[in-house]
Amino acid sequence: MRRNPTLCLPILAAWLVATASHAQVDEIVVSAKRIDQAATDVAGTVARIDADALARTGHTHINEAMQRVAGAWISRGNGQEHLTAVRSPVLTGAGGCGGFFMAQDGIAVRASGFCNVNELFESTSELAGGIEVVKGPAGAFYGSNALHGVVNVLSKAIDAPGAIGLELGPHGYGRVRLGAQSDGWRVDASGTTDDGYKRSSGLGQHKLSARWNRDLFGADVTTTFTLTNLNQETAGFVAGVDAYENQRLKRVNPNPEAFRDSRSMRLYSRIAMSPDAGGQFILTPYIRHTEMDFLQHFLPGQALEENGHTSVGFQSAWHGESVGLRVSLGIDAERTDGFLKETQAGPTASPSAFLRTTIPQGKHYDYEVEAGMLAVFAHAEYDLGPSTTLVAGLRGEHVDYDYDNRMRVGRTQDNGIPCGFGGCRFNRPADREDKFDNLSPSIGIIRRLSDTSNVYVNLARGFRAPQTTELYRLQNAQSVSRIDSESMLSLEVGYRQFTVAGRLDLAAYTMRKDNVIFRDSNRINVDGGETSHKGIEVSLNRELAPSLEVSLAATYQRHEYDAGVLVSGQDVSGNDIDTAPRFMGSMQLVWRPTSRISTELEWIRLARYYTDASNANDYPGHTLINLRAEFAAGDWRLFARIMNAADRDYAERADFGFGSERYFVGEPRSLYVGLQRRL
């Protein structure tokens, strides 16, 4: 009988922690409730990548850091591009990003309704002090988009040590990082240049984070300002069966004309007040601005998209407690002005007369949207006894869009001339308003088994309002998109143990998503689909010896179409959703032979997955080995890492489209070296 070694990982994890000392240890502190709390007090799974792990990883792409989170996969595209999976398949399309709440210090990276699948490159993860991942519907504290989970990039603490460093790597890669701090302020910055593994695929990326803290009129005020800039020449898929193994194709760029330019700014202040009456009130006003221009090289016609938005808003929460009861109440509000333009510079280059005729030169879309969000929430934790806590929350959220079309209504060319074959692909609806109201309840129980372990169960409902592109960027005969919010019901049970020697988290979940929004075979945005999501996760950190430590993150999962989804006219109910490997895992073994030397061996496994909804094509998966080492002497730190040490041929992402297998090719063995001086 063939055995699957991945099924032994939860047993291995349980054994490793069971053999450890059961003395109590300091618990991991998380901010899932907008205030610091022990991870054991959360009725759900919150993973945290701490500052030490981020420094050791030295990620050049957020995919490399997120390998350490069970159930998460940031699927790497070319350059800094990516798609996301958290307790989900890799979600794509106009609303694919709407399944996740991407945040910096709890503030959404992009406004509600204006997400982008690549938006994590607008965070300052390279300068971060930690990354938190809240898995599954995120309860009362996060709203629309907190469906499958939350990825929250945490800025460095103001009093964290400063440093200056230089790092070099293959194909012209170079990065400079600076961190400086003094009394109540700090500044972190990075500048990256990369010529790209593939031809004509270089990038320049710049990030800045400035923070300062003051006591003003009895309130503790921390203000953060961030800037990001990305200028990227983008390489597209290479096509053909197993093209990622073909040495002639691996460095080919079929789209040397493609590019992406992205800029973002955020300014926010966390104002914490503790009135004499007790409790704590936290107010966080913010402003954000984003702009992005990119060539849609992956579509016929290769139109240029320009989008952006400016938002002002605030988050507020009051936290109070009495004997056996802890309560949080709050109001969040936001106002956004956004725009989108799509323009095709020349005629569609295609042998198909249908595509040449229906995808015309000129403007396709030009619209603006004024959007508003208002939410109220309540969260309570009540001690039913000395060892049992009931946790419940409720969030009500209203989202409204006021859409203004700045072109001719309908599916004509921009000059009003109709296209042949029944009309142009692009359809511009008339001005309209849309409103969405949603509730997100949750209830759970935490049972403490000892000072170092507990079990929990949590039932939660999450939602996401439709994205503006799903409502107003219509195609073919669809002149009005009458779609409603997606919703998902999640049931999770878990066990946690903290000891002097390590930590173990085991979780099992089942989720059902209703009213799934997707684009059908007629290129029409519809809802009403259903999908199911089930999985078992294990996360482990264990000290094997004073100089040896092991970490493990693994998940076995199944993501399926349930009903109501037609792809190319085919009912795919019961099929695996594409780009959803059933097993994902990583393991890190850290060895510190002396106080100055640290090494890490990392193993990453991504199992086979289907690349189309019909489950007719697949990618076999891959296993990667990475090596990292550093040497510290006084204020100096010399570090190196070898990525893909076994020099495996693999694909960062595989896809089946336009009748062919397509791949983003993984890089061969690569060496990065750097030098850092502590300030």
Question: pLDDT tens for residues 309-348?
Answer: 999 999 999 999 999 999 999 999 999 999 999 999 999 9
Question: Residues 279-303: what's their mean pLDDT?
Answer: 95
- pLDDT computed for residue 523 by the predictor: 66
- pLDDT computed for residue 607 by the predictor: 98
Beta strand pairing status for 149-155 and 100-104?
parallel
Report d(CA 137, CA 376) in Å as an integer.
Answer: 17
- Domain coverage including residue 98: 5-678
Nearest-10 Cα torsion for 82, 531, 554, 55: 30
Residue scoring higher pLDDT (621 or 34): 621
- pLDDT computed for residue 522 by the predictor: 62
- pLDDT computed for residue 327 by the predictor: 95
Across all residues in the chain, what is the average pLDDT?
92
Report d(CA 190, CA 169) in Å as an integer.
Answer: 15
Question: Residues 488-504: what's their mean pLDDT?
Answer: 93
- pLDDT computed for residue 477 by the predictor: 82
pLDDT digits (tens, 9 = 90+) for 438-491: 999 999 999 999 999 999 999 999 999 999 999 999 998 888 888 999 999 999
Provide the CATH number for the domain around residue 187.
2.40.170.20
Question: Residues 207-218: what's their mean pLDDT?
Answer: 95
pLDDT digits (tens, 9 = 90+) for 71-127: 999 999 999 999 999 999 999 887 889 999 999 999 999 999 999 999 999 999 999
Tell me the sheet residues that pair with 439: 396
pLDDT confidence bin for 12, thresholds 50/70/90: low
Residue 5 pLDDT greater than 50, yes or no = no
Q: How far is CA 390 from CA 43, 443, 454, 460, in A?
A: 9, 8, 13, 14
Residue 9 pLDDT greater than 70, yes or no = no
Amino acid identity of residue 448, one-letter, is R
- pLDDT computed for residue 3 by the predictor: 46
pLDDT confidence bin for 33, thresholds 50/70/90: confident
pTM of the model: 0.94
Domain count, the chain: 1
* Closest listed residue to residue 379, CA positions, set 316, 442, 446: 442
* Closest listed residue to residue 513, CA positions, set 76, 173, 98: 98
- pLDDT computed for residue 276 by the predictor: 67
pLDDT digits (tens, 9 = 90+) for 220-261: 999 999 999 999 999 999 999 999 999 999 999 999 999 999
Report d(CA 508, CA 502) in Å as an integer.
Answer: 21
* 3-class SS string, 6-64: HHHHHHHHHHHHHCCCCCCCCCCEECCCCCCEEHHHCCCCEEEEEHHHHHHHCCCCHHH
pLDDT digits (tens, 9 = 90+) for 381-422: 999 999 999 999 999 999 999 999 999 999 999 999 999 999
- pLDDT computed for residue 2 by the predictor: 43
